[in-house]
Amino acid sequence: MASPAPVIDKDGVRLTVDESIATVTLTNPAKRNAQSVTLWLTLAEVGRALPGSVRVVVLRAEGPSFSAGLDRKAFTPEGIEGEPSFGDLARRPDAELDAAIASYQEAFAWWRRPDVISIAAVQGHAIGAGFQLALATDLRVAADDAQFAMRETSLGLVPDLAGTHPLVGLVGYARALEICATGRYVHADEAARTGLVNLVVPRAELDAATHDLAAALLAAPRDAVIETKALLQGAAGRSYDEQRAAERAAQARRLRDLAGVGE
């Protein structure tokens, strides 16, 4: 069976849609899928281009590495051709600098939207922006050779691509601080042990395991999954009693929907 034609295929990013599953692939293995502003803008475009039929989004990468992080040219005085250098950004007024970073964050924010569940399939290195892109998804399947590292602090920067919130949520404040401040590598076995990833499999089985997880996520009715995701996403910000109330309200909606009873 032929693969579906890409919906988007540019700037090191390819989007394909096969009924309820969308696949986003990083397609620059020669540069270990290094990231740039252009790639981030394209990833944000991907989020806007998803058809309403999509229920699961799989994020994968070609080559030996998931993503080695920001393209090193961004750290040079001249920067990446056609993109603002760090110096250019630093000289912008506060509001403009904030807006620029916010536009980059859009590439990382949409993966957790309520109507889809996203899965990252991670092999090899996921460093800096690559680590944050893996953290952007709801779930992570890692190959046994996966290595995660947050190197921003060692470069005099901070992780600013929406990765700090999910990282603390997954591994706790103390471990998140240690990972970020030291910039050390977190290998697949530790990632599984600490809850950073959901599953570790041999490298050769990464695609199959991710496909199996996607299929399992499609087994339940879509509306029930959406309601459940919303309950779990909001749980940390609610008290116990508030969460109980949210559960009751969600279940009432589901019961009325299943019974065909209008509110």
Position 95 in a domain: yes
Helix H segments across the chain?
37-49, 86-90, 94-109, 129-136, 164-171, 173-182, 188-193, 206-217, 222-235, 240-259
The pLDDT score that the predictor gives to residue 1 is: 57
* Tokens 């295929």, residue located: 9
Residues 187 and 229 occupy one common structural domain: no
Residues 246 and 200 occupy one common structural domain: no
Alpha-carbon distance of 123 to 129, in angstroms, equals: 15
Give the count of domains, the chain.
2
Position 3 in a domain: no
For residue 79, the one-letter residue type is: G
Position 94 in a domain: yes
Position 126 in a domain: yes
CATH of the domain at 186: 3.90.226.10
Residues 79 and 110 occupy one common structural domain: yes
Residues 167 and 241 occupy one common structural domain: no
Query: Along the chain (263 residues), what's the average pLDDT of each consecutive run of 10 residues?
Result: 85 97 98 97 98 97 97 85 89 96 97 97 98 98 98 94 97 98 98 98 98 97 97 96 98 96 73
The pLDDT score that the predictor gives to residue 72 is: 86
Position 208 in a domain: yes
Position 2 in a domain: no
SS3 201: strand
- Reported residue count of the chain is 263
Domain housing 206: 8-217
Alpha-carbon distance of 168 to 181, in angstroms, equals: 13
The pLDDT score that the predictor gives to residue 75 is: 82
Helix H segments across 80-205?
86-90, 94-109, 129-136, 164-171, 173-182, 188-193
Alpha-carbon distance of 141 to 139, in angstroms, equals: 7
Residues 163 and 250 occupy one common structural domain: no
SS3 14: strand
Position 120 in a domain: yes
**Tokens coding 243:** 């969460």
